[in-house]
Structure 1
Amino acid sequence: MRARLRSRPSLEDSTVKQLDQQVKKLGNALVDAFQLMGLFVIGGTVVWAAVHEYLQMIEQGRAGLDGILLLFIYLELGAMVGIYFKTSHLPVRFLLYIAITALTRLLAIDAKTMPDQHILVITGAIVLLVMAVATISIVRFKFPENEPR
């Protein structure tokens, strides 16, 4: 007789399960809200920094290679935030593109004053990052994802 009573779900068990589900929903909603706020802050900061850099170029009356490459970095960061908004996925390739652009900018600006070893290390890092992008692209082509984005 006692075995039968224990096998039936009690009102208390279903209430606890409902409460647990509601708490999880609230937790997920709070995490999503925090994530959206963070993305807005990052996106706004990227736009603000890009506008600031562009206004400096206008003020100087010229656009140097370092400033143009920095604008490309801001563009890539903005695109990455936009893609994350639309798909909820962070594309690793964009991070690699940003790293490649940042290292290229470093070489373009400081190559004259860098020791040869630093130039070789940075160039090797760029080649390694390009190989990583190529590998990711090949893998995505050969093994496409099943789930739609």
Structure 2
Amino acid sequence: MQPNKFSKLAQHSLTLVGQAVLIVIAVATIFAVFQEIEHVWQARTIAVGDLLMLFLYLEVMSMLNHYLGSGNLPVRYPLYIGIIALARFLVLDIAEIDAFKMFAISGSILLIAIAILIVRYGHVRFPYSEDN
């Protein structure tokens, strides 16, 4: 089926809206980085949670940069962000988390890490062709 003028216009419009949303996300992430740096500056101390939060922002910016540069997004980036977010939650709330929740969060991190290994294996073993 050949795309008509309306479908081409709709596709172009959605692409522009998607690019605009990505730029908004990038600006919001940069703003959040500056807020985190200001928080660290005012507290006069750097905690592990602050470092993990900055690393989380760095991963989001890296993901956006990769997507804007190549037009595709490897599934690994959101998985990395998920691991960092779970690790930050685990580190910050260690005092209030019971043993079952700690085990569940640690298991979730392990499952995401295994998923990353499976995805990486799939990309190496079954690479994409240039046609896709």
- What TM-score results when the alignment is normalised by the length of structure 1? 0.82
| Corresponding position: 1:70 with 2:53 | yes
User: 1:82 is matched with which residue: 65, 68, 72?
Assistant: 65
Tell me the CA shift for residue 62 of structure 1: 1.3
| Corresponding position: 1:122 with 2:92 | no
Structure 1 residue ranges without an equivalent (≥5):
1-16
Tell me the CA shift for residue 55 of structure 1: 1.2
Tell me the CA shift for residue 139 of structure 1: 1.0
Query: Percent same amino acid among aligned pairs?
Result: 27
2-side partners of 1:25 and 1:136: how far apart? 33
User: 1:52 is matched with which residue: 10, 35, 41?
Assistant: 35
User: Amino acid of the residue matched to residue 53 of structure 1?
Assistant: E
The size of the alignment, in residue pairs, is 131
Structure 2 residue ranges without an equivalent (≥5):
none
1-side partners of 2:13 and 2:55: how far apart? 33
User: Amino acid of the residue matched to residue 27 of structure 2?
Assistant: G
Tell me the CA shift for residue 21 of structure 1: 3.1
For the aligned residues, what is the CA RMSD?
A: 1.7
2-side partners of 1:147 and 1:50: how far apart? 37
Within-5 A mapping of 1:1-149: 21-147=4-130
- What TM-score results when the alignment is normalised by the length of structure 2? 0.92
Tell me the CA shift for residue 138 of structure 1: 1.0
